[in-house]
């Protein structure tokens, strides 16, 4: 049997998205072409891969069993193309899609991209700000080649993660906030009476701070969640409350006197994990990015 890998690519995209419309958009195909591809593949394999429902396409048990094999074929095709592109050409080339927390995208990763442009000018890096859940989903779906996760632990199905650094955290407030001028550190019952501007649900250190605040008997903290480091930082600089952020995201504001370190218990550093899909090949371009990451992150 000769298998057209275009059909397998459509199969994988439909399995990821659960929608003929979304799969067509992702693959830049007409929706009718996606339908034809899936019917052709089902006919060749002699099995039904999806149940067609009003809400979309639901992969069958048989389709789920075949999906891993299909992804393996597509991965092998990618390896072959990468090897062919590199034959006789010394330069490492290719596009690498990296997902990471917004704080890392704005502080650590620009230096990595700048260095790669000098050492591997034909490697193109695309950065996407993503929390842990979205990053892991992106690795599983193939939309991301690698991700940097800010978590104390990183144990996810189909995802291999290795610790590469630790990011210091700091609780900050406006310079004239009462927490900035205290002579001694506030305890948790005192902190639990304050207003906080934290990053959105799924940010591990924000979630842990919220858990500790709400664990205080009679706690009444005012908690506001943002999807943006800039938004949280701006509210705090305006004197509206406190926020917990990686030190790298507030160093400039601290130096300029727009923020101050709050007198509070110390917070442990958060671990940075480099995560990739367990079964996918690491092409030379991605390996070059990994090498550069190791040089730009503080070890710990």
Q: Is 126 helix (H, G, I), strand (E, B) or coil?
A: strand
Claim to verify: residue 144 and residue 287 sit in the same structural domain? yes
Q: Is 144 helix (H, G, I), strand (E, B) or coil?
A: coil
Claim to verify: residue 53 and residue 127 sit in the same structural domain? no
Claim to verify: residue 173 and residue 161 sit in the same structural domain? no
| Separation between Cα atoms, residue 298 and residue 166, nearest integer Å | 7
Claim to verify: residue 11 and residue 80 sit in the same structural domain? yes
Claim to verify: residue 223 and residue 243 sit in the same structural domain? yes
Q: Per residue of the chain (300 residues), what is the pLDDT tens digit? A: 556 788 988 998 898 889 999 899 888 899 999 999 999 999 999 999 999 988 889 999 999 889 888 887 887 777 676 666 555 555 777 889 999 988 898 889 999 999 999 988 989 999 988 888 889 988 887 889 999 999 988 888 889 999 999 999 999 999 999 999 888 999 999 999 999 999 988 888 999 999 999 999 988 899 999 888 999 999 999 999 999 999 999 999 999 999 999 999 989 999 999 999 887 877 888 889 998 988 887 655
Provide the CATH number for the domain around residue 35. Answer: 1.10.10.10
CA pseudo-torsion sign 165, 169, 175, 181: negative
Q: Phi-psi region for residue 226, left (φ > 0), alpha (ψ -120 to 50) or beta?
A: beta
**Per the structure, how many domains does the chain have?**
3
- Indicate yes or no: pTM above 0.85: no
Q: Would strands 123-129 and 94-100 be described as parallel, antiparallel, or unpaired?
A: parallel
Range of the domain at 155: 94-167+271-296
Claim to verify: residue 179 and residue 195 sit in the same structural domain? yes
Chain-centroid distance of CA 223 in Å reads: 24
């Amino acid at each position: 049997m000769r298998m057209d890998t275009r059909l397998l690519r459509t199969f994988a995209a439909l399995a990821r998205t659960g929608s003929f419309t979304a799969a067509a958009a992702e693959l830049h195909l007409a929706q009718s072409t996606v339908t034809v591809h899936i019917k052709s593949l089902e006919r060749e394999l002699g099995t039904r891969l999806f149940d067609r429902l009003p809400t979309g396409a639901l992969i069958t048990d048989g389709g789920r069993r075949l999906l891993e094999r299909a992804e393996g074929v597509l991965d092998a095709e990618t390896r072959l193309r990468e090897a062919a592109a590199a034959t006789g050409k010394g330069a490492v080339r290719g596009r690498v899609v990296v997902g990471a927390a917004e704080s890392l995208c704005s502080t650590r990763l620009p230096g990595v991209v700048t260095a790669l442009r000098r050492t591997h000018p034909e490697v193109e890096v695309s950065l996407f700000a993503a929390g842990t859940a979205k990053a892991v989903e992106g690795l599983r779906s193939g939309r991301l080649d690698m991700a940097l996760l800010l978590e104390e632990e990183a144990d996810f199905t189909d995802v291999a993660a290795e610790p590469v650094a630790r990011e210091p955290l700091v609780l900050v407030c406006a310079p004239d906030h009462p927490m900035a001028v205290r002579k001694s550190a506030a305890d948790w019952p005192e902190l639990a009476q304050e207003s906080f501007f934290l990053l959105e649900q799924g940010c591990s250190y924000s979630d842990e701070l919220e858990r500790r605040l709400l664990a205080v008997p009679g706690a009444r903290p005012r908690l506001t969640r943002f999807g943006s480091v800039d938004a949280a930082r701006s509210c705090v600089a305006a004197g509206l409350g406190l926020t917990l952020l990686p030190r790298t995201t507030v160093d400039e504001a601290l130096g300029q006197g727009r923020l101050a370190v709050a007198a509070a218990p110390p917070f442990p550093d958060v671990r940075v994990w480099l995560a990739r899909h367990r079964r996918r090949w690491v092409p030379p371009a991605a390996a070059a990015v990994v090498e550069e990451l190791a040089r730009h992150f503080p070890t710990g």
